[in-house]
Amino acid sequence: MKMKFNKLSVLVVLSTLFVTGCSDDDNAPIIDETPIEEEPPVEEEPPVEEETPDAYENGILIANEGPFNNGTGTVTFISEDLSVTEQDIFNKVNDEDLGNIVQSMAFNDSIAYIVVNNSHKIQVVNRYTFESVAVIEEDLLNPRYFTVSNGKGYVTNWGDTSDEEDDFIAIIDLEGHTVTNTIPVELGPESISANENYVYVAHQGAYGQNNKVSVIDPTTDSVLKTIEVGDLPNSMQWDAQGNLWVLCGGAPSYAAEETNGALVQIDATTNEISQTFDFTTIQHPGGLNIDGNELYYALAGGVYSISTDATELPTEPYIDGVSFYSMTVNEGKLYGTDAKDYASQGDLLIYDLETKTLTNTLAAGIIPTGVYFN
């Protein structure tokens, strides 16, 4: 059977095809062809590196004399929290010995000067790493103590101990690490200290006896005057008012004539004695220290305390029943060294000055003689 289409049917079909095949632009989805700008990558800041302190930056340094006439002196390090103790750190860092005998140590900025008496030299090191910087060996003879003034170093020297006329102060170039000049002084220059104007030298007398303090002008490197104090001045300290306190031990009982010790105050503006406290003939104090307005010294198995504005010496010890080879006071604590038998390892004893109690005992080297704070 044949299908028949009329003209109307054909027109309807064609119209439908036409409508279906054409799209209406108004109804089509709108596509934004504008290119998208990418945001620049965020630059991450590098992590902040915390500075780690050098090995010996925070803590206590102990100068140990070492055996007399043989062997070597050493330096002990104790961490600030007292949890770590390292012996012989100079050898550990530099693979060599300091020399015989380590007498004292002094600081200038990041440099430490280690005075080695019997070896007639000064070891110069970085005080925080203990790496060797230089060795000063020329023009020193039995060096003892070191200080800095007017951009120069000053070192007391006993000279030849059989000659009482050759004692001197060596002047050190702190950049070149050399002795540039010397200042002849009286017998037995020992402790040395400086303020903004002068360098002061206590003449204990080496193997002899003396009773003077020399005043040196660091601008001319000449001795301005000598001040007669008590016999055998052994230590000096500055108070908050700028006065210099000098502790004199007095001649001991085995000397030809035993003499009393004395505590002397020097007015550094006039370089005159402003007051003197005399001990009895049989009293021989040593180890003068200061903390705030309190002076401390060792005497006859005790530690005594006296205010800088006191009018008389104390009669009773502040801490009793102690005997130290050397003592240092710092920030409310007393650091005393025990040399024991002078041949084996010594100790550092730490006391709380407020409670007067022993808080710590730590190992040091042979004959610990000086305590310093790094």
Contact yes or no for 350/335 (Cβ under 8 A): yes
* Predicted confidence (pLDDT) per residue in 325-350, tens digit: 999 999 999 999 999 999 999 999 99
pLDDT tens digits, one per residue of 91-116: 999 999 999 999 999 999 999 999 99
pLDDT-based confidence at 53, cuts 50/70/90? confident
What is the per-residue DSSP string for 168-198? EEEEEETTTTEEEEEEE-SS-EEEEEE-SS-
290 upstream amide cis, omega within 30 of 0: no
Instruction: Output the average pLDDT for the chain.
Output: 90
For residue 218, give both structure tokens. 């660091």
Q: Is the dihedral of CA 54, 58, 59, 62 positive or negative?
A: positive
Question: Rounded to whole angstroms, how far apart are CA atoms 202 and 156?
Answer: 9
- Answer for the pair 338, 349: CB distance below 8 angstroms, yes or no: yes
pTM check: above 0.75: yes
- Centre a 10 Å sphere on the Cβ of residue 204 and count the other Cβ atoms it contains: 24
Structure tokens at 237: 């300290």
Summarised one tens digit per residue, pLDDT across range 145-171 is: 999 999 999 999 999 999 999 999 999
